Structure formats: structure tokens, C-alpha cells
Amino acid sequence: MRILWLNTNLLLPLDKGGKLRTWHLMRHLAGRHEITCLSFAEPDQAQAHLDGMSEVCSELVTIPRRERHKEGWRFYTGVARHLLDRLPYAVAQYRSRAYRRAVRSQLAHGAFDRVVCDFLVPAVNLPRALPCPAVLFTHNVEAEIWRRHAETESGILRRRLYAQQWRRMLRFEGRTVARFDRVLAVSDVDRDTLQRLYGDRLKAPVSVIPTGVDTKYFAPRPATTEHAKRIVFTGSMDWLPNSDGVVFFCHEILPLIRRAEPDATFTIVGRSPTPAVRRLADDDGIEVTGRVEDVRPYLRNAAVYVVPLRIGGGTRLKIFEAMAAGRAVVSTTIGAEGLPTENGRHLLLADTPREFADAVLTLLRDPATRSSIEAQGRALVTERYDWSAAAAHLEAAIADTRTPTHRTKRGAAASIPMTSVKRAKSL
């Protein structure tokens, strides 16, 4: 197949869960299919990142764009500019004439067999009439994330803002899923939510693409005893559910842990920490690293891995990575949502600050329990969740997608020049 794959951001560097999932899946598909990837990219994007995309696509088309702030006064200023916009801010900021022109040009000249929209947002730039079957690959149910933001926010103004964005996202997501011939989800939970919210608009049942992990890359190594009471979290720290989760952990949970274990420390690992996250490092025993080249040393030198998320959707790749690295995990129910894990066997689940602190303390103080959780978590991902199996599910779903008879015939899109093109390789 010839596939036109639409992204909002370049996959490299691999510093987000969504990027990692797409990278591993595309890498397997690229060996069997010809993929043209169209994406926004920073104007000063590292050449190594552009060159590296040749591993997952035969052609890369980039549209220059600078990433906007996701917290602080610049974020709220950006939201304010879109108060009267019918689109949610998370979508409207990616609306681009240049991107739309590039999509139309590719569809006019590319003779593609399928279009894959990776995440919901690129669909804002997709023409109404398409010449081939189209697939929407959702990594989250975006409206659910904004609903949870509104429910957990304590400030009146921000709660109203999040509620407004939730309603707009609900409308946009509903209209968008109705445009695609097939919608893919990353868990049974997300599939059921999509069908509950938008089932009457879907053209076909939602298909589930399972989460995978590179178990060889995250193979366990002996941990040092120097950090026997270190707790760690990894993730993109400019994603609101992650920043909310670590602030919640530091303010509500960590003090309870330290009353019992004063030597316990917490390390927050991940790119682009927001101002609120950076301020957490002002307290003794809390480290905020920012972006690191390799998260594995931080996983291996921790006693417990935590996922204290109150907001979110999709599935947490970080949990499978921690399990593959042989770390015991404590998560909220939302944090582990959609993963085929069993509480008390593969990880510990806790939702209140007291329950979460007690679960962490159990693993810090009871080596036998910790070792059992580590072993069974590692066995789960090693035996059942390899990326090649997930890619096979994705390939079958894309190949099986069909266009309704009323859709525009191939070649109907207008001919418009591309913004920029970089040839990567020929398969």
C-alpha cells in the first residue's frame, strides 16, 4: 500500500509516549509499505531528526511551525485569543493553510491507497473530499481528557475554561470521527468510550491496536543500593495530565510517605517541565531533570515507579516501560486505564493520597512483595506485548478499511504545490 500519514509534530526526538507508539508501529509498517509522512516541524529542527525519519517513511514533507506554550500566561493568552473560536484551542492552534495545501497536493499527485490521521488534531487540516479510504488513529479520547480537567480543577475560572474546552472538543471529536472510514483506539476502554459518545456517527466499529514495548531495550539491570528509597516518574512534563499528576503527588502524597520514610526521594524525569513542575524542585528530596537522553538509568536506580495521574486517556506506555525495566509500579486507576494489568499482581492501584502513599510504603519496606510485583510485571510485557504484534493489528486494520460508495473518486483533489519536501529513501 501507499500510505499518506499525517502528524502534527515530527516523531524525533522520541520524547513522548504518543511519538514512541507511532514510531514503533510505523517502523514495522515501513518494511512492507510505502509511507509518506506529512508533519509540522520546528524551523530549526535538527537535521539528524529529519534524516532519522527515513527509518519509518519513504518520504517526509514538513511544514514549518513553532510549538506554543502549554502553561503559564502565554498559554492562557493563546486560549483567550480563541475564546470565540468554535474549535477547541488544542485543535485551533494547529489549523494551517500551508498544511492543508500540502495535504491537497499530496492527494492530487500521490495515488495513495490509504490516509492515516495520527491523533485527532491533524484532521482539522484534512479536505472534506478524499480520494481513498481514511483511518483515524486515536491515542486518547480527547474529550474525556478535557472533561477530567474540568472535574479536577479547583479554581473557578480555570474550571470554567476547561469545561468550555471540553464541550468544544466533544463537538469537534464527534464531527471528526464521522468523517473517517475506520477509527482505531489503543485500548478496550477507549473503544467503548468512543462508541458510547459517538457510536451513532461511526461508519464502522472501532478497532483496538494494543500497546507494545521494546522489552530488549528496557531489559532490567541490577539497581544500586544507593537509591533504595528513590521514587521516580517519567513523562513529557508539558502535557497537562502529567504536570497535574506530579504536582498532586508532591503536594498530597509525598508528605505522607516522608512522615514514615524521611529519606524517600522523588525524581521527575521528562522534557519541558512547566513552571509549576520546576518549582517542585525547591523542596529538598525532589529532583526535576528536564529532558534526558536515556530514561533507563533513572528507572533502574529507583525502588518504585509511580503514575499518580488524575487526568488522561489512552494507555500509559510508561507503565509497560517500567515493567519491562523490572520496576514495581504504583498507579491510579486512571493512570493504568486500558492496560491488561491485575492489581496486586502486576502493579498496585490506589486513588486516594493515603492509599497511594501506603502502596508506595509497602513496596519500599517489603522487598519480597516488591520483587514479586517486578517479576510478574516483567513477565506480562515480555510474553504478550511486543511491538511487532501490535503493528500486525494496525496493518490489518488499515488494509481492511473500505470507502463508502458515495466518497469522491481517486484523483479528485485539487493540485496545489507542496510547502517543503525532503526525500528520505525508496523502499
Question: In a structure prediction context, what are the per-residue pLDDT tens digits for the chain, which is 427 residues long?
Answer: 999 999 999 999 998 889 999 999 999 999 999 999 999 999 999 999 999 999 999 999 999 998 876 556 566 666 666 677 899 999 999 999 999 999 999 999 989 999 999 999 999 999 999 999 999 999 999 999 999 989 988 889 889 989 999 999 999 999 999 999 999 999 999 999 999 999 999 999 999 999 899 999 999 876 655 568 999 999 999 888 999 999 999 999 999 999 999 999 999 999 999 999 999 999 999 999 999 999 999 999 999 999 999 997 767 899 999 999 999 999 999 999 989 999 999 999 999 999 999 999 999 999 999 999 999 999 999 988 889 889 999 999 999 998 764 444 443 333 333 334 343 332 2
Quote the CA–CA distance of 133 and 11 in Å, as a whole number. 24
DSSP 66-89: PPPPSSHHHHHHHHHHTTT-SS-H
How high is the pLDDT of residue 414? Answer: 33
Fold of the 225-384 domain: Rossmann fold (3.40.50)
Classify residue 62 as exposed, middle or buried by CB count within 10 Å of its CB (0-12, 13-18, 19+). Answer: buried
Model-level pTM?
0.82
User: Whose CA is closest to 208, among 359, 386, 393?
Assistant: 393
Please provide the DSSP assignment of 53-69 as one string: GGGT-SEEEEEE-PPPP
pLDDT of 158 reads 86
pLDDT of residue 384: 87
pLDDT at 16: 87
CB 206 within 8 A of CB 194: yes
**DSSP-based three-state secondary structure for 136:** strand
**Beta strands at 59-64 and 421-423: parallel, antiparallel or unpaired:** antiparallel
Residue 410: the pLDDT is 40
Cβ 408 vs Cβ 130: under 8 Å: yes
Residue ranges with strand state E in 82-171: 114-118, 134-137
Residue 415: per-residue pLDDT = 30
C-alpha 373/C-alpha 327 separation (Å) is 8
pLDDT of residue 116: 98
| DSSP H or E run through 241 | helix 240-248
> Under the phi-then-psi rule, with left for phi > 0, alpha for psi from -120 to 50, and beta for the rest, what region is 147?
alpha
Burial of 9 by CB count in 10 Å (0-12 exposed, 13-18 middle, 19+ buried)?
Answer: buried
Chain mean position to CA 384: 21
The span from the CA of 313 to the CA of 338, in Å, is 8
**Fold for the domain defined by 2-212+387-423:** Rossmann fold (3.40.50)
- CB 402 within 8 Å of CB 133: yes
The candidate with the shortest Cα–Cα distance to 94, out of 124, 73, 51, 64, is 124
Q: Is 86 exposed, middle or buried (0-12, 13-18, 19+ CB in 10 A)?
A: exposed
Spans of all domains in the chain: 2-212+387-423, 225-384
Q: Are 236 and 242 in contact (CB under 8 A)?
A: yes
SS3 272: coil
Buried b (16+ CB within 10 A) or exposed e, 308-332: bbbbbbbbbbbbbbbbbbbbbbbbb
